[in-house]
Amino acid sequence: MKKRYFSLLLLFVNSIVQAEIVEVVTEDYAPYTVRKSDNSVGGVATDIVLPVFNRAGIPSKFIIYPWARSYRQALEHKNTFIYAMTRTEKREHLFKWVFPVSEPRKIWFWKLASNDKIKSITSISDAKAFRLATVLDTSIHEYLVRNKFPKISTANSWPQVIKMLQHDRADLILMYTAPLESILKEDNIEEGTIIKTFSPFYTELYLGTNVNTDQVLVDKLQAAYKDLLSSGEIQLIPSK
């Protein structure tokens, strides 16, 4: 009798967890995550994450905020998920890491092609001599602070960062190729205006969640992800 009661209680608790609409937060970071004309969330990372939630049967609400707000939401609120987030040493124990959405990708220091004062960047030490712009509270911002770059300016979005580079408020920016190319295309910036110099590391993008998120949700998502990936219904973002 006790065993049956416990099983029914477990089923009841599980159904409550499943019925909760969880928040899945991100930023406007094309081509990975984009705000569509109907205010829904699209992008190549969403094309991976959304089907996983649907397959797992977990009701979800996808929301775009500035990155710093999305990060705080996931850090502070149980059953809140966040993507596409770089997995770093600093963040390792701050979140549960559900699954990757990308292959390892190189990140590059970029400069204006017309900036003659930067002759060559072949090391982190070279880059430290110049002014850097980045987005607040991103893994890139963390990297620059951790490695003691002395001249860092921050903005709320990557298009703002690129404008800082264009308007001589920064000498270098540190970005992945795909988002940079997406912004250049969106803003009609001529190809070759901004050029890459040196790549300091590789990273992967992940779906993460608050450390107190119910493990049953994480388990369901990981099982659904494995199923969709093995069937070819989703594919990791290529390493561009």
* Cα distance between residue 36 and residue 169, in whole Å: 30
**pLDDT confidence of residue 94:** 97
**pLDDT confidence of residue 119:** 87
Question: Within 13 Å and on the Cβ side, how many CA atoms surround 225?
Answer: 21
**pLDDT confidence of residue 191:** 87
**pLDDT confidence of residue 20:** 82
Cβ neighbours for 116, distance < 8 A, ≥ 6 positions apart: none
- pLDDT category at 62 given cuts 50, 70, 90 is very high
Count CB-CB contacts under 10 A for residue 174: 23
Phi then psi dihedrals of residue 100, to 5 deg: -80, 150
Whether residue 93 is predicted with pLDDT greater than 90 in this model: the reply is yes
* Whole-structure pTM value: 0.80
Count CB-CB contacts under 10 A for residue 6: 10
Per-residue tokens: 23: 């928040």
Whether residue 64 is predicted with pLDDT greater than 60 in this model: the reply is yes
**pLDDT confidence of residue 4:** 55
Whether residue 10 is predicted with pLDDT greater than 60 in this model: the reply is no
Residue-wise pLDDT for 108-160, tens only, equals 999 999 999 998 899 999 999 999 999 998 999 999 999 999 999 999 999 99
Under 8 Å between Cβ of 174 and 105: no
**pLDDT confidence of residue 11:** 53
Could you tell me the CA-to-CA distances from 113 to 86, 127, 187, 195, 227 in Å, in that order? 28, 16, 17, 6, 45
Whether residue 15 is predicted with pLDDT greater than 90 in this model: the reply is no
Residue-wise pLDDT for 184-235, tens only, equals 999 999 989 999 999 999 999 999 999 999 999 999 999 999 999 999 999 9
* Cα distance between residue 80 and residue 51, in whole Å: 17
- pLDDT category at 52 given cuts 50, 70, 90 is very high
